[in-house]
Every structure is written in C-alpha cells, then in structure tokens.
Structure 1
C-alpha cells in the first residue's frame, strides 16, 4: 500500500494567506495542516508517500517534509499545474503507484477519533481481500455541500453524487479514499464535469458499476474538521488545542506517530530534536522519549497517544 496526499488548489477562500503558501502549509493550532494527513498514513505504517502540490509551493513543501527519512518513510513530490479535480490527482500519481493499491488523502482534511484508525485498517483489509475501493461516510447537516453517498437497503453503495441539489441521504463522502491498483486507469477515463473538474465521483461510479465500491460509516465519536475558511481553521485549531491541553498529548504529531509505530528509533528521534530550537514542541518530543524509556511498550500503539 502506498499513500498519496493531494495538496494543490488555490485556496481562494483563505485569501490573502494563500498568496504566500498553499493552505496545506498553513498552521492549524501547533503544526502545519499537512502534518495531519501525513500522520494518518504513518499510523497505517504506509512508508511510500507522494505529495501533489502547486508548482509555486513545491520548494516550501520539500523544505518542510524533506525526504521522509526522519519519519522512517520515503517521500516523493510532483506538481499539479492547475487544480483540475481530485481524479486528476489520481491520474497524475500513476507512475508513482505503479499498480500498487493506495490510500489517497486530501491534504486539508483533519479527522479525529478512535474510529478512524480502526476504519482505515478495515479499508486496507477490504482492498486485500476483495480488491474493492473503499470510501468513508460521515453524517452531516448540510449534505448539499458535499459528495453524497446513497445506500441500498443491504448497505451497498448505489451512487455518490457531487453536491446534489436534492440529497438522497445525509452521508457525505470525506477526503479519505482507498483504491486498488487499477485506479489510475479509471481516473484517466474521467471527463470534465459541468464545473470543469475531473470529479472523484466519476471514479466511484466506475467501481459501483463493477460492484467494487464499499463504504465505511464513521460514528458519532469521530470529528471531521473543515479547514476551508479562516473561521474554520480557527475553530479546528481551538478544538485540537482543547484536546491537547486537557490530555497533555499532541494530536497527530508525525514524529511521535513514527516513533511509537516503530518506524524510527529513540536515537533517530533525538537526532531530529537536536535541530529543533528551544520550544514546547521540542520539549514534548523529549518527554515522550523519556516516557518510552521508563515504560517501554514495544509494538503497542496507544490510541490516546496518537489521536
């Protein structure tokens, strides 16, 4: 399984902040937005990850994330010259994927909750056993603003419609997708919609026609945080801050996820910390190393420590 994070787009609703950086590089509380989807992939022990970004943001993205070695991973980068839609990102990733199944994430989606890790693991099993694509459903109060999933009486996916005027359900398809190795070929068949975008729902349609699209519903204990406007970023940051302040644990700290997942050792993490100037972030990473040495939990991933 490989990972792809789509981090393009113009972010016009976040103007003027996005004049200097794409929104995925903007901070959400104490870390760049891109760290949240990255942590999700590392949590699944996905090590080969491709980031798709704007040409003008490529340098900054590479400076932030590097080669991936510091996370026990290998990062690749390509650019999307124009924001032509999610399906375009899948087509652009064809060479990187080389027939591998993929966990494809939108770089501006933040998920929180114990269900998330379990649901993603379940999606991986479906890929391996059924060779089917998997999407995630999240109940929303305004489904007309999202891709909406319609379910049959047996729970099967009948259709996924992008921003319907009359939604048939309140289940939105969120920006986390698992696809088999043939997805790039399906994405390349998609033609521009009325919005002049290559819609991900058209990729879903092809899998539905072959009875190869499954949907996992996320429960009430899961938060799907919007980051499309300044107000939404502030609200997401406040939400994450409240959790971190109460628990004393960071939410989706990629260095911690890599360390606790066994992707990097304490010695490798310490070498990274040497390059971090005095800050609360440095102090936190030192603390988790001390805690691990005092009470080793080999192979154990405590959900509270990672979410």
Structure 2
C-alpha cells in the first residue's frame, strides 16, 4: 500500500497566518502539523508516500522532510496548481498510485488512541478490497460528511453535510482504497461548490457494495485542525498527554524505529541535531530503554 498526504489548499480560514506559511507546516504543540498524519501512514506500514503541495510551499515541505530515506521511507512530491477538491488528489497522484492500494490522509487531521492503532494494524495485515473509511461520533454531524452503517460495519449511506443526518458518525480525513479510486475520481462530476468530492468517490464504492467502516471508539481522539480553535484544542490535548505519559504523539522518527524502518544507529543520527529542543533527548531515551 502507498500513501498520499494532501497538504495543498489555501487555508483561508486561517488568514493572515497562512498568507506566509502552509497550514500543514504550522506547529501543533512540539511538531509541525504534517508529522501527525505522516506518522499514521507509517504506523500502517506505509513507506512510499506522495505529498501534494501548493506551488508556493513545495520547497518548504521538501526542506522539512527530504526524500524520506532518513526514515527508511520514500517521499515524492507533486504540486497541485489549484485546489479542486479532496478527490483531485487521486488524479494528481495517478502515476504514483499505479496499480497499488492507497491510503489518502488529510494533512490537517490528527488521530490518537489504541483503537486507531488496532484499525491500522488490521489494514496493514490485510489486502484492500474496495474502500474503507474511519468513522467518529460527533455531536453536530451536519458539519461533516456523514456515514451510516450496519452491525457488520458495512456502509449503508454516505452524505456530505446533510441537512437531516442519518447518523452521528462523521467520516474522518483518512481513506483506504484499491487502485480503482483513480478512475472513479476521474469520472466524478464537480459538486455544486465546484469541487471533486471524496465523499462522492466513497459513494461509488458504496454503490458497488465495497465500502467498509472502521469505527473509532470513545477512547479515540480525532482532530480536524482547520480552525484556530481546533488547532488550539489539538495542541492542548497533545501537551497534556505527552506531559502526563512521557510519550510523544506523532513522532515520525520513533514510528520509523518502532516499525523497523531504521535501526539504532540511524535513530541516534536523527536525534543528534535535535537534542537542544528536548525532542532529540526523547529519541535517545528510546535507545536507552531497549
């Protein structure tokens, strides 16, 4: 399976800050925002990852993440000239996806919890047939894409911001699918707001009876950090968890090490220039604990 991180868009809801910096490069507590979705892909065992950026921010992402070899991964980058909707990522990444299964994750989404880890482990150990989305209970489903599913977690309906939601479960910003998703996306008509909607791509899988739902329980956390308030909430959540448990969330170097992508020597090398911030010291302590 390959991975796509969608880190484009103009993030006008975060102006004036995002006039000068990409939203996905902004800090969520002690790390750039993009570290969190990247760590999720790595947790799923994904090493080949395409990062979709704006023309303006392309070089900044490459400077931050490089080619991925330092993490035992392979990163590629492609520019999305204009934001045309989330499903456009599949079209932009067509050559990269090829005939492989793919996981697309939004660059501003943060996931945490043992149930998240369990679902990712299941994905890692099983071939993808059709598509799967993660669903999370929300109090105000009208603001989200809403999925309805049966007792076997098979999707029954999926709608984008419905006036009368059929459930309280929102589809989150992570989408697993087979390679058919590229052709599905290419055949989608733009929505009334002029975008190629990922909800419509998932609806096509639903029509084929191939859309499954991974249910995130109440012990899980999901943040869509597209507003100042949600960014602050995510920052406070991560700060509290890290301070109380002494563990880091979204630490890509640790994830590479845990997954066996890099060895002790490589982790120590990554830690060396980061020691003064305390981040590197955390990485070195991982080695001492072995």
TM range (shorter): over 0.9
Relative to structure 1, is the Cα distance of residues 154 and 31 closer, same or farther in structure 2, using a 3 angstrom cutoff?
Answer: closer
CA RMSD across the alignment:
1.4
Q: Deviations over 1:116-175 (max 9, x none)?
A: 0111232445544xx121011111001000000122466431221111111111010000
Paired with 1:169 and 1:207, the residues of 2 have a C-alpha distance of 19
Matched residue, 1:199:
197
Contact 1:240 1:251 in 2 (8 A): yes
Q: CA deviation at 1:226?
A: 2.7
In the alignment, does 2:280 pair up with 1:279?
A: no
User: 1:229 pairs with 219, 224, 227, which one?
Assistant: 227
Q: CA deviation at 1:32?
A: 0.3
Listed as ranges, the gaps of 5+ residues in structure 1 are: 293-307
Matched residue, 2:264:
266
Q: CA deviation at 1:269?
A: 1.5
Equivalenced residue count is: 290
Matched residue, 1:212:
210
Matched residue, 2:187:
189
Listed as ranges, the gaps of 5+ residues in structure 2 are: none
Matched residue, 2:6:
6
Relative to structure 1, is the Cα distance of residues 245 and 154 closer, same or farther in structure 2, using a 3 angstrom cutoff?
Answer: closer
Paired with 1:254 and 1:222, the residues of 2 have a C-alpha distance of 20
Q: Map 1:51-90; keep pairs closer than 5 Å.
A: 51-90=51-90
Matched residue, 2:25:
25
TM-score (norm 1): 0.91
Paired with 1:270 and 1:156, the residues of 2 have a C-alpha distance of 44
* Secondary structure at 1:184 match in 2: helix
Paired with 2:92 and 2:57, the residues of 1 have a C-alpha distance of 17
Deviates more, 1:198-207 or 1:139-148: 198-207
* Secondary structure at 2:273 match in 1: coil
